Amino acid sequence: MPELPEVETIRLGLKKAIVGKTIAGVDVRVPKLFHGDKKSIIGKKVLDVGRRAKQIIIDVEGDNDLLIHLKMTGQLIYRPKQESGVASHGQIAGGHPSKDWTAVLPNGTTHIIFDFSDGSKLFFNDLRKFGWIKIFEAKELKHKLTEELGVEPFDKEFTTDELAKIISKKSNWNIKKILTDQTLISGIGNIYADESLFWAGILPTRIAKTIKYDEVLRLHTSIIKALQIGLKYGGSSENTYYKIDGAKGQAQEHFQVYAQEGKKCKRCGGVIQKIKLNGRGTHFCPGCQK
DNA sequence: CTATCTGTTCTGAC
DNA sequence: TGTCAGAACAGATA
């Protein structure tokens, strides 16, 4: 799924696009991806768009809010009224099926469509159908999100000491597993875990209890750095991620290790390696990371 | 064609 | 209780 920088990029775009608009209808094409009674949000105005971990929260007038998880391949694409159908950025190659899943909407991966009263639409696409949209009672949602998720990396309470405390709680885990566990720290996934560990000079396989305090210090700075790079370039479109206008992010052009296996390390010139760790592809530089 | 990969997370088996 | 493979699903890639 999109990770924190991608979801945050979507949130910012969405906030600009839909706050103040009234939800006129919801077309649920794949019922298992939509939980709750859509009638409870129809006719209501969107008040705000938030984020917690890798999830989007749409704050709707009244008692109910929407929670959206994009998982691996979910997309939220917004189209103003004038150009519903064809992307402003993309051409449709004559006769060829487009690999760009946002060029024509709705398409075969479009499972839920929100209609706003001004004629604009929000398309929820998901190739693999892992993502979902759920309606929650607002209080219950707030409780659930604080209960189940770890500290936000951009929060002021995410300090070096806090990170040290988190690491000490899972002394036998490898450090990458700690970074990607949403109940400990929220928002970091496979890409930004690898990138953070590169910037920190720490191997992803390192066991928590072997990590010294000066390394925790570097890791804390590096997590924020990796996520900020992601955010600055509008997220990474290595796979199926698009911004809400259908444009790609550029963060993948700034990766140091993720998807760089076999290439030369930009810092030391060594060859980037790829292994499997915790069941996931894991990238690192043997020269820079110890 | 077959095997393995993919930005996630939950469940069930041991 | 902790860990891990497999599941949910669909496609790209070698």
Residue-wise pLDDT tens digits, A7-25: 999 999 999 999 999 999 9
Residue-wise pLDDT tens digits, A149-196: 999 999 999 999 999 999 999 999 999 999 999 999 999 999 999 999
Q: What is the pLDDT of residue A102?
A: 81
Mean pLDDT for the stretch of residues A253-267: 97
For chain A, list the strands marked E by DSSP: 23-28, 34-35, 46-52, 55-60, 64-69, 74-79, 110-116, 121-126, 132-137, 273-277, 280-284
Provide CATH code, domain A160-284: 1.10.8.50
Q: What is the pLDDT of residue A117?
A: 97
By C1' distance from the Cα of A128, the closest nucleotide is: C9
Provide CATH code, domain A4-148: 3.20.190.10
pTM over 0.85: yes
pLDDT band at A54 (very low <50, low <70, confident <90, very high): very high
Mean pLDDT for the stretch of residues A212-240: 97
Would you kindly state where each structural domain of chain A is located, as residue ranges? 4-148, 160-284
Q: What is the pLDDT of residue A96?
A: 39
Which residues have a Cβ under 8 Å from the Cβ of A71 and sit 6 or more positions away?
A1, A126, A128, A130, A131, A132
Q: Is the CB of A6 under 7 A from strand B?
A: yes
Q: What is the pLDDT of residue A268?
A: 96
- Residues of A annotated catalytic, as ranges: 2-3, 54, 280
The pLDDT of residue A217 is above 60 = yes
Alpha carbon distance A24, A17 (integer Å): 15
| CA of A194, C1' of C11: distance in angstroms | 24
Give residues 13-72 of chain A lying near strand B (Cβ < 7 A).
53-54, 69, 71-72
Residue with nearest Cα to nucleotide C7 C1':
A130
Q: Work out the angle between the directed axes of helices A160-169 and A213-232 (0-180°, nearest 10).
A: 110
Q: What is the pLDDT of residue A86?
A: 55
Amino acid at A73: T
| CA of A114, C1' of B11: distance in angstroms | 31
Q: What is the pLDDT of residue A103?
A: 80
Q: Is the CB of A180 under 7 A from strand B?
A: yes
Query: Which of these ranges, A80-89, A109-118, A139-148, has the smallest mean pLDDT?
Result: A80-89
Mean pLDDT for the stretch of residues A105-116: 97
Residue-wise pLDDT tens digits, A62-108: 999 999 999 999 999 999 997 545 555 543 333 334 456 788 999 99
Alpha carbon distance A205, A274 (integer Å): 12
By C1' distance from the Cα of A3, the closest nucleotide is: B7
The chain-wide mean pLDDT, for chain A, equals 93
Task: Kindly list the distances between the CA atom of residue A39 and the CA atoms of A14, A35, A44, A251, in Å, as whole numbers in the listed order.
Answer: 22, 12, 10, 38
Alpha carbon distance A206, A179 (integer Å): 12
Q: What is the pLDDT of residue A58?
A: 98
Q: What is the pLDDT of residue A99?
A: 58
